[in-house]
Amino acid sequence: MRRTLGFIVALLAMLLGTAPLAAAGAPGPVDPGVPTARLDPAANAAADPLTVLARPRVTGTPRFGRVLRAVAPRWSAMPRQVTRQWLRDGTPIAGARGKHYRIRPRDVGHRLRVRYLATGPDGADVVAASKPRRILHRVPVRRVVRYSVETRGRIVADLAMFKRLARETFADPRGWRAAGVEFRQVGKGGAMTLVLAEASKVPSFSSACSAEWSCRVGRFVVINQTRWRFASPAWRKGDGTLRDYRHMVVNHESGHFLGRGHSSCPRRGALAPVMQQQSKGLGGCRFNPWPTATER
């Protein structure tokens, strides 16, 4: 009888909201969206602050094209919730929150790290970040080509932009730098001369050159100004971008300087080799401004 009355009293207390709190330290339900500690000020006051016992680490080879892996930190207690974020030079990389991170072209020359944000049992946030790792090109430098820039004829294109985009093309980890070739611009001389030429002046370098296309003759890598400004009819018809065309034509003609000959489309739907004459057509391939793996 007493047991029955006790049960009825306890049931009424629960219904009326006067039931005693759970024993101190007893785990309660965790709302994934809101840390439990923040909902319970009394628990917050009693909980020990969360500390980092071992900072997070990044494993893997820090070179373009490789994949890095985040190793989580070790905490003094179980966090209520944890978020992960990859950083480039201290700035969050949009969408990069996974355990693995594939190194991107823009990462080369910069420093990557992973950061964890945890909410402790006391409701306070704690940040733990790995040591930064400098990202390198796919391979070390194997050959250095010094080049200078010249013009021929009447130039209406932006010459400063031409020089800048050429430097970006040569430095891009997807370009010939992926084959270990480093192009360094010098004021005069050098082994290679990059020329922006009025279309009518291109044939003056060789009878094998045409006013229609760009050309390479000996030390001269000649970029046809008309093609530089407007790309080619085939490229425009295929909806290729002008910027990609400019990367492609610089890579293609400087590829000849490096000793590469023309290539053809390996199979329908594949990326076109950069040494394919993409200005004239694709032969079933897809536009591609960068050397393929078989060309590096």
Give CA–CA dist 75/117, Å, rounded: 11
Joined tokens for residue 10: 């306890």
Is 163 domain-assigned?
yes
Q: Quick count: other Cβ atoms within 10 Å of Cβ 288?
A: 21
* Structural domains in the chain (count): 2
Residue 27 has pLDDT above 50, yes or no: no
Q: How do residues 130-182 score in pLDDT, each as one tens digit?
A: 999 999 999 999 999 999 999 999 999 999 999 999 999 999 999 999 999 99
From residue 37, give the alpha-carbon distance in Å to each of 41, 123, 201. 7, 5, 75
Q: How do residues 118-133 score in pLDDT, each as one tens digit?
A: 999 999 999 999 999 9
Length of the chain in terms of residues written: 296
> Looking at this protein, which amino acid is placed at residue 43?
A
Residues 89 and 72 in one domain: yes
pTM of the model: 0.79
In the listed set 116, 134, 152, which residue is the last one of a domain according to the structure?
134
- Residue holding tokens 């003759």? 217
Which residues does 225 contact at the CB level (< 8 Å), separation at least 6? 153, 155, 156, 157, 196, 197, 198, 199
Give CA–CA dist 28/45, Å, rounded: 16
Which residues does 24 contact at the CB level (< 8 Å), separation at least 6? 46
Residues 100 and 151 in one domain: no
Interior angle at CA 286, CA 283 and CA 291, nearest 5? 100
Residues 160 and 236 in one domain: yes
CATH number at residue 200: 3.40.390
| DSSP reduced 3-state for 247 | helix
Q: HSE-up of 264 (CA within 13 Å, CB side)?
A: 2
Axis-axis angle for helices 159-171, 242-257 (nearest 10): 70
CATH number at residue 128: 2.60.40.2700
Q: How do residues 270-291 score in pLDDT, each as one tens digit?
A: 999 999 999 999 999 999 999 9
Residues 165 and 212 in one domain: yes
Average pLDDT, the chain: 88
Residues 244 and 148 in one domain: yes
**Residue 148 in contact with residue 193, Cβ under 8 Å?**
yes
Is 10 domain-assigned?
no
Is 115 domain-assigned?
yes
**φ/ψ (deg, to 5) at 280:** -95, -20
In the listed set 102, 134, 166, which residue is the last one of a domain according to the structure?
134
pLDDT of residue 288: 96
Is 235 domain-assigned?
yes
| DSSP reduced 3-state for 266 | coil
Query: Model confidence at 48, in pLDDT bands (50, 70, 90)?
Result: confident
Range(s) of the domain holding residue 64? 52-134
